Chain A
């Protein structure tokens, strides 16, 4: 694979993961357990959509095939999406949303930190901007992990269930494939952040009184290459309905 092809694949993984996760967040609009939490989640979702747009804009420029960021978000099918599997999992209860976000935030923060050093200036710039926001996100979800983990018997039980349910998908956060390795060697991509991710998650788990599972193993699904769980199709159907049904709609 040429560096440019690898790069667009890599950028789509970042963009799609931001986009899909933000979409899941927006499902809490009007349903959050507290007003402040609803506002917080909509803020985080908005940041992620903004970051997704920055990556999509770059992909559109690299591909130079007349398609823009909106096309990439709203006109691609499930198999063309490159998001991490964890992002598309249903929002579940608040413990599931929290655990999901925490696993993602720790990874996201580490990846963006490394990308600020990318030899690709455009990537370094987008990452530096996003990193400021990701720092807030990570702080918030870490606090919630502690609160739910140390809270009541029920909050602890629910969080433990959420971790068990989601843990298998964390292999994508700690693993790299050829594309990621190729770009890391070229000084462009973030490479493997697995060791630091595990250490940080272990630290928070210990403080929250949670049991750390064995490292997750690779299995047959592969979001980075378009092999998704059944949940993504439903999410895209809702997200893409309007721009597909009314292709020239503006407001």
Chain B
């Protein structure tokens, strides 16, 4: 998948018996196929946005943590999560938006980091969400691996990215901000 490619998830109405309490793993499984619309190679699970999947009475409840306060993809992601669960067989699932604790890039999984890198976006350093917000270290070029890189702008094509340039291979690249 290349940057700029669009994703489209085909809806398929679920025909069987509604799923119940024993089917929680299937909920997680289907969410691993819901991609961030702006970074369509990473699922919402790998981004660490899904904070809990649990039963609330006879409905499934999913807690979703937005990445940035103003991320325009928030509503789309919530709708995609809702539809994916319905199509898998969970009846009338409830999506709850949770702000606290605030989402951090430390929640991005190793699989998610690898997918970002392969897509040409330098992943944020792991476990440094708190520190690097104040002092962003050198970003590693996702194309050639060099750390001789320079920040062009702290703000990029989406709220979650900054713009960098590699001094070795001279390619510009996006860096997923460490938050």
Interface residues of B in 133-179 (CB under 8 A from A): 133-134, 152-157, 159, 163, 177, 179
User: Is A47 in the interface zone, CB < 8 Å from B?
Assistant: yes
User: Is A100 in the interface zone, CB < 8 Å from B?
Assistant: no
Q: How far is the CA of A40 from the CA of B70 in the complex (A)?
A: 14
Secondary structure at chain B's binding surface: helix, strand, loop or mixed? loop
Interface residues of B in 53-82 (CB under 8 A from A): 66, 68-72
Of the candidates B155, B159, B163, B177, the one having the most CB atoms from chain A within 10 angstroms of its own CB is: B155
User: Is B100 in the interface zone, CB < 8 Å from A?
Assistant: yes
Partner of A54, one of B99, B103, B157: B99
Q: Which residues of B contact A125 (CB under 8 A)?
A: 99-102
Interface size bucket, A side?
20 to 34
Q: How far is the CA of A151 from the CA of B30 in the complex (A)?
A: 55
Check if B155 sits within 8 Å of A44, measured CB to CB.
yes
Check if A50 sits within 8 Å of B100, measured CB to CB.
no
User: Is A189 in the interface zone, CB < 8 Å from B?
Assistant: no
Q: Which residues of B contact A128 (CB under 8 A)?
A: 99-102
Q: How far is the CA of A39 from the CA of B71 in the complex (A)?
A: 14
Known: A46-B159, A54-B99, A125-B102. A40 touches B68 (CB 8 A): no
User: Is A168 in the interface zone, CB < 8 Å from B?
Assistant: no
Q: Which residues of A contact B157 (CB under 8 A)?
A: 39
Q: How far is the CA of A39 from the CA of B163 in the complex (A)?
A: 10
Q: Which residues of B contact A136 (CB under 8 A)?
A: 133, 154-155, 177
In the A-B complex, the 5 residue pairs with the closest CB atoms = A50-B70, A125-B100, A50-B69, A46-B70, A36-B153
